[in-house]
A and B are shown apart, each in its own frame.
Chain A
Amino acid sequence: MARIVLASNLNPFAGGTTELTLEVDDVYRLFQALAARFPALEPHLEHEVAVAIDGEIYQDVLFQPIGPDSEVILIQKIAGG
């Protein structure tokens, strides 16, 4: 099971949850599982969230694989000028 960590800015949308484990093998399934568990988080997932999988940041990459022992951190998406 992958370890999923919600960065502090997302806690309010997940009832204060900071960490959980989920059986998911890619980002798409991770978002689906999170949306089912935390409906308040769902509107933020598509456009405001990036993920760090085992230390590498991915933005807009739905089929990025998540390993069974991966650590996935959900973070604020990044852009720039």
Chain B
Amino acid sequence: MARAHVTTTINGDVVDFLCEADQTLLSALRDELRMTGTKEGCGTGDCGACSVTIDGRLVCSCLVLAVEVEGKAIDTIEGMADGENLHPLQKKFLEHAALQCGICTPGILIAARSLLERNPDPSETEIRYWLAGNLCRCTGYHKIVEAVLDAAREMRS
């Protein structure tokens, strides 16, 4: 079967790739472009490890077909830091020990950034509900929530 040609923008750079018609965006990122920072925990939209944004909208990349992103702008974990300057969320996750194994971390960071773009001053409850689609089996979420609260505080000041 002929593979589809897709041109898109990823983390600000124009990128093109070939993919199969039924291939997910997650698979295109990981297997075609070798951008393995975005993780797969389930492939069915239940864990959030594959979170990315498309034109600023938070999605599970395992539920999006790669061909759908033609002409769109995708942001992944690989583009979160600005050069050697980590994003405040990344810094706060490190300071608060908000990751253990770290497999959920890229997805949670992307989701948390998306929250803070919409709501710069979220309550603990708002953070918990926003992140309810991102599973973390290691941390019990406590330090993740603390880190997001602290990052929001810093970003507001």
State if A and B touch, Cβ cutoff 8 Å: no
Q: List chain B positions with a Cβ less than 8 A from chain A.
A: none
Q: List chain A positions with a Cβ less than 8 A from chain B.
A: none
